[in-house]
């Protein structure tokens, strides 16, 4: 892990952010260096982008805390739904929506925002 990221203190401009267990450290450089996507990369063709969608993206030191934050937040929300919603198809649908949101958020991290649009 890089030494210039303050572990327990929020970054400048995010002093009021919840950095306990549901927020990864924020560093603007992460978005430019992760996975090699960024300002210096040449534009990718739609075929190359689709190839990236279905390629395995191994976690790294930049993405692991982000995955952990997303996973913890999703688990916390699911626990709130379980504790407050009566059993039934709506509660099942709510939990499934949380699972889908978690997976989509983790995909966004893995792809570093890469999109066809």
d(CA 7, CA 78): 27
pLDDT value of position 91: 98
Q: What is the pTM of this model?
A: 0.66
Tens-digit pLDDT profile for residues 50-76: 999 999 999 999 999 999 999 999 999
Check residue 38 and give left, alpha or beta (phi > 0: left; psi -120 to 50: alpha): left
d(CA 107, CA 29): 19
Which residues of the chain fall below pLDDT 50?
1-6, 14, 17, 19, 31-35, 38-40
pLDDT value of position 20: 53
Spatial CA neighbour of 66 closest among 113, 100, 3, 15: 113
pLDDT value of position 42: 80
Angle at CA 10, nearest 5°, toward 74 and 16? Answer: 75
């Amino acid at each position: 892990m890089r030494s210039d990221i303050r572990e327990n203190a929020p970054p400048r401009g995010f002093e009021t952010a919840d950095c306990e267990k549901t927020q990864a450290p924020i560093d603007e450089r992460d978005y430019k260096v992760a996975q090699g996507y960024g300002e210096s990369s040449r534009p990718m063709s739609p075929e190359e982008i689709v190839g990236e969608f279905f390629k395995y993206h191994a976690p790294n030191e930049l993405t692991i805390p982000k995955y952990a934050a997303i996973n913890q937040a999703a688990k916390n929300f699911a626990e709130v739904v379980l504790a407050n919603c009566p059993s039934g198809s709506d509660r099942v649908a709510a939990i499934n929506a949380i699972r889908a949101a978690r997976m989509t958020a983790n995909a966004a991290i893995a792809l570093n925002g890469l999109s066809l649009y």
